[in-house]
């Protein structure tokens, strides 16, 4: 008879709690959910261990009994319990927090909601209604404007996330009868009417065959083995995954395929369904109930293939044989709330625990994976050619400094890009243009004092959005009327820089009548909008697809022959040590969109820094060359993959309090860093010093090769349990 259960709770407190197991709950097993008394409250926790003796130092009569057992069978397998432990150890959170991140919200709470509240405009609304709300009720105006852009009902949760507003302006609008609430019970499966692809699988190229052979050999061995599939865009990586998947299913095992959220399109899903029948699709837009159902179907072995974004990594697939991480370099694989894990690390750990084969795939691998391949920790597989012998498009850098301004204004679309677009339109081909800034213009500048206009609560320049004539902070989403004068000196301010709205306006002027699909967070309110625009573009209903990073990934349109990057420097100017890596990856990814069909493609990249190493390498499609130079740079400045590190962020109501909080952090970390041989840097203001009215400071802790993490880990755990402290692995 097991008499004591160790229970993990979803709190930052880094310990488990012991309870006695009453005689009627003897069926309890590790991985089951239980209800427990906790102080005056009842909480749901997960049993992580059973013991015969009480925890040392606690008299048995002081230990309270479990209140009830929620699962007859364990909800989490021993492998998943271990995986959560790993996530906790590497991101410095508690075991319970890591476990909570694995479960669908419904199971964390105890039951699934069957419907979600939605809201939509009630009838035709226009400028007249917006104007009526404008000065007395700016929040209602914002809310209405947002709903006007959506082409149907929007989840209330989504509304809150996207506008930063609460539900109350919606309620006021509902009283006026301008919007109405509803419930969405059953979502029609967004992937149900995905095209049914059932063409015969292609004959593999010799290169693909080699890769597949190596992976299948590892699958036969039934032992964990990790691969890096380094293949240029269009080299047939997905076909390799599909063959490996087929072998894995023949063995009677299951698989998890992770793709970036944005790549979870009907096309992607259809490709997997066509080859391996029913697959579970897990993405962020599922309702609790849908996620719940999928989860149970997976756990019971009814669905053996899971395709999904980051969190699909925790799907309870029994007898897991294969884990694939496509586009492994993508930063959407990093979670930016607790637990701050990276899918790469967790994928490998899960494959390791389960004896599964793990494949990372990319045309531009992360330097972490590239280094691992060099050191033999990942087995390198290469696909250096496009399937069918197609060539990579020619990439041209346009030095914007040489583009003479017109009427005193710098060009948005350079002359070489104008020419390329003109010719493509002439031939009835299509183009994709990339600009990673939504809105009309990303800043206002004062010529007199050199100042710019920032958000009242954030240290962030305001973006002008033309369609609503508003200045918007892209961090806190606050809106204000466009500024007329400089807050510093009172002189008039001028708009500088180009966003997607302005680029669209320019293109319409240059090519009257051109059909442009603009794709950014302003035009793509709902997931369905994204899919419908891509469908229209694929059918040739638009000539140009213009957008933010939404257009950079995985799109495959054979009629696209021109790809333009309107401003490559946005990526390079990010205050982040990965800026160059991102910029290279971005140019390579967007280049991959050109010339997918019979006709050759060309890529035009506009920049003010044409001599930058990342751009020079991108012109030559030279990933290894770029990686070599960048790796040296990282070595010199002690950044990953050469060192491990964490960034610690603290905040305060004013600069003095933020400084104080940062000094406290230094005090806790300094002895640990000294003992472990770590390097402590800071405190310093982070790139965004003020956010939502709070002042912030950052501290960096780096652990070079040979440092001992143990003492530092203890200190980091201590910090993570504090309010207002963020510990973020680099
Ligand atoms: P990647 O994932 O590397 O960008 P894909 O797997 O999407 O490349 O392949 C690009 C295109 O080539 C797809 O349309 C795919 O169906 C096709 N393809 C892949 N392998 C072959 C092959 N061996 N023979 C013919 N076509 C192939
Ligand atoms: Zn702001």
pLDDT at 223: 92
Output the CA–CA distances (angstroms, integers) from residue 652 to 440, 661, 724, 725, in the order listed.
33, 7, 9, 10
Given the CA of residue 271, which atom of ligand 1 is nearest to it? Answer: 16
114: CB partners within 8 A, 6+ apart:
185, 289
589 in ligand 1 pocket by Cβ < 6 Å? no
Sign of CA dihedral 710, 712, 718, 719: negative
pLDDT per residue over 24-33, tens digit each? 999 899 999 9
561, 522 contact by CB (below 8 A): no
Pocket-testing residue among 212, 238, 242, 382, ligand 1, by greatest number of atoms within 8 A of Cβ: 238
pLDDT per residue over 439-481, tens digit each? 999 999 888 888 789 999 999 999 999 888 899 999 998 888 9
Distance CA 352, CA 320 (A): 11
pLDDT at 404: 83
7: CB partners within 8 A, 6+ apart:
16, 17, 18, 19, 34, 36, 45, 46, 47, 48, 66
Helix 138-149, helix 127-134: angle, nearest 10: 160
Pocket-testing residue among 202, 239, 263, ligand 1, by greatest number of atoms within 8 A of Cβ: 239
pLDDT at 554: 62
Terminal-residue alpha carbon distance, the chain? 45
* % of the chain with per-residue pLDDT over 70: 97
Sign of CA dihedral 575, 578, 582, 583: positive
| pLDDT exceeds 90 at position 594 | no
pLDDT per residue over 396-440, tens digit each? 999 999 988 887 777 899 999 999 999 999 999 999 999 999 999
pLDDT-derived band at 575 (thresholds 50, 70, 90) equals confident
562, 520 contact by CB (below 8 A): no
pLDDT at 182: 86
Distance CA 593, CA 23 (A): 63
pLDDT at 608: 94
pLDDT at 709: 79
Residue 529: how many CA atoms within 13 Å on its side-chain side?
17
554 in ligand 1 pocket by Cβ < 6 Å? no
pLDDT per residue over 660-707, tens digit each? 999 999 999 999 999 989 999 989 999 999 999 999 999 999 998 888
pLDDT-derived band at 277 (thresholds 50, 70, 90) equals confident
Helix (H) or strand (E) run with residue 581 in it? helix 579-591
pLDDT-derived band at 115 (thresholds 50, 70, 90) equals low
Strand ranges inside 548-643, DSSP E = 560-565, 602-607
364 in ligand 1 pocket by Cβ < 6 Å? no
pLDDT at 658: 95
204 in ligand 1 pocket by Cβ < 6 Å? yes
Angle (CA) 27-33-36 rounded to 5° is 95
| pLDDT exceeds 80 at position 598 | no
pLDDT per residue over 210-263, tens digit each? 999 999 999 999 999 999 999 998 899 999 999 999 999 999 999 999 998 777
Pocket-testing residue among 197, 236, 386, ligand 1, by greatest number of atoms within 8 A of Cβ: 236
Q: Which letter, b or e, does each residue of 356-374 get, where b requires 16 or more Cβ atoms within 10 Å of its Cβ?
A: bbbbbbbbbbbbbbbbbbe
* % of the chain with per-residue pLDDT over 90: 59
676 in ligand 1 pocket by Cβ < 6 Å? no
Given the CA of residue 592, which atom of ligand 1 is nearest to it? Answer: 4
Distance CA 54, CA 57 (A): 8
What pTM was estimated for this model as a whole? 0.90
Least confident range from 43-57, 191-205, 425-439: namely 191-205
Least confident range from 477-481, 505-509, 590-594, 614-618: namely 590-594
Backbone angles phi, psi at 562, to 5 degrees: -125, 130
pLDDT per residue over 503-555, tens digit each? 999 999 999 999 999 999 888 877 778 888 888 999 999 999 999 988 876 67
pLDDT at 93: 93
Query: Measured in angstroms, how far is the CA atom of residue 691 from the centroid of ligand 2?
Result: 7
Ligand nearest to the CA of 480: 2
263 in ligand 1 pocket by Cβ < 6 Å? no
pLDDT-derived band at 285 (thresholds 50, 70, 90) equals confident
pLDDT-derived band at 101 (thresholds 50, 70, 90) equals very high
Average pLDDT, the chain: 89
239 in ligand 1 pocket by Cβ < 6 Å? yes
Query: Measured in angstroms, how far is the CA atom of residue 548 from the centroid of ligand 2?
Result: 21
Sign of CA dihedral 549, 555, 559, 560: positive
Rounded average pLDDT over 305-312: 93
């Amino acid at each position: 008879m097991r008499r004591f259960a160790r229970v993990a709770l979803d709190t930052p407190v880094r310990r488990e709690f012991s309870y006695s197991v009453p005689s009627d709950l003897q069926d309890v097993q590790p991985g089951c959910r239980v209800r427990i008394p906790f102080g005056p409250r009842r909480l749901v926790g997960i049993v992580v261990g059973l013991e015969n003796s009480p925890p040392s130092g606690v008299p048995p009569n002081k230990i309270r009994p479990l209140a009830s057992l929620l699962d007859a069978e364990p909800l989490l397998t021993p492998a998943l319990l271990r995986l959560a432990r790993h996530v906790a150890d590497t991101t410095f959170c508690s075991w319970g927090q890591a476990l909570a991140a694995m479960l669908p919200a419904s199971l964390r709470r105890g039951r699934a909601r069957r419907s979600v509240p939605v809201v939509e405009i009630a009838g035709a609304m226009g400028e007249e209604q917006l104007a009526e709300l404008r000065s007395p009720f700016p929040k209602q105006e914002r809310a209405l404007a947002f709903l006007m852009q959506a082409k149907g009902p929007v989840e209330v949760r989504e509304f809150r996330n996207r506008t930063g507003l609460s539900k109350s302006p919606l309620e006021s609008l509902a009283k006026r009868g301008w919007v109405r609430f509803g419930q969405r019970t059953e979502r029609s499966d967004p992937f149900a009417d995905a095209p049914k692809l059932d063409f015969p699988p292609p004959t593999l190229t010799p290169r693909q065959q080699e890769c597949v052979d190596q992976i299948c050999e590892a699958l036969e061995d039934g032992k964990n083995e990790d691969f890096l599939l380094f293949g240029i865009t269009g080299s047939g990586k997905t076909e390799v995954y599909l063959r490996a998947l087929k072998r894995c299913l023949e063995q009677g095992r299951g698989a998890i395929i992770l793709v970036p959220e944005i790549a979870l399109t009907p096309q992607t899903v259809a490709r997997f369904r066509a080859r391996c029948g029913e697959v579970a699709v897990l993405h962020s837009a599922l309702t609790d109930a849908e996620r719940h159902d999928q989860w149970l179907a997976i756990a019971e072995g009814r669905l053996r293939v899971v395709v999904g974004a980051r969190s699909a990594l925790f799907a309870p697939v029994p007898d897991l044989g294969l884990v694939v991480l496509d586009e492994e370099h993508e930063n959407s694989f990093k979670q930016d709330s607790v637990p701050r894990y990276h899918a790469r690390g967790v994928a490998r750990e899960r494959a390791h625990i389960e004896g599964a084969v793990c494949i990372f795939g990319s045309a531009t691998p992360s330097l972490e994976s590239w280094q691992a391949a060099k050191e033999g920790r990942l087995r390198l597989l290469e696909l250096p050619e496009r399937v069918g012998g197609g060539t990579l498009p020619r990439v041209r850098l346009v030095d914007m400094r040489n583009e003479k301004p017109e009427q005193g204004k710098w060009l948005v679309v350079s002359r070489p890009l104008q020419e390329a677009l003109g010719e493509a339109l002439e031939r009835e081909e299509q183009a994709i243009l990339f600009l990673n800034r939504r809105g009309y213009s990303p800043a206002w500048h004062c010529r007199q004092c050199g100042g710019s206009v920032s958000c009242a609560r954030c240290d962030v320049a305001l973006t002008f959005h033309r369609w609503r004539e508003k200045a918007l902070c892209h961090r806190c989403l606050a809106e204000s009327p466009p500024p007329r004068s400089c807050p510093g000196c009172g002189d008039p301010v001028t708009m500088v820089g180009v966003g997607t709205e302005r680029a669209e306006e320019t293109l319409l002027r240059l090519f009257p009548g051109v059909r442009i699909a603009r794709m950014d967070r302003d035009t793509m309110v709902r997931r369905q909008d994204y899919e419908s625009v891509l469908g229209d573009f694929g059918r040739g209903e638009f000539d140009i697809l213009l957008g933010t990073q939404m257009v950079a990934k995985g799109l495959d349109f054979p009629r696209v022959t021109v790809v333009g990057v309107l401003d490559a420097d946005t990526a390079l100017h990010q205050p982040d040590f990965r800026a160059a890596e991102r910029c290279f990856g971005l140019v390579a990814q967007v280049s991959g969109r050109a010339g997918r069909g019979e006709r050759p493609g060309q890529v035009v990249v506009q920049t003010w820094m044409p001599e930058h190493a990342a751009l020079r390498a991108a012109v030559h499609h030279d990933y290894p060359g770029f990686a070599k130079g960048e790796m040296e740079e990282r070595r010199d400045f002690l950044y990953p993959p050469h060192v491990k590190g964490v960034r610690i962020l603290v905040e305060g109501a004013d600069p003095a309090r933020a400084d104080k909080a940062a000094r406290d952090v230094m005090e806790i970390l300094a002895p640990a860093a000294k003992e472990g041989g770590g390097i402590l840097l800071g405190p310093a203001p982070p790139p965004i010093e003020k956010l939502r009215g709070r002042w912030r400071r950052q501290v960096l802790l780096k652990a070079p090769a040979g440092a001992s993490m143990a003492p530092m880990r203890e200190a980091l755990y201590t910090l993570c349990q504090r309010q207002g402290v963020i510990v973020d692995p680099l």
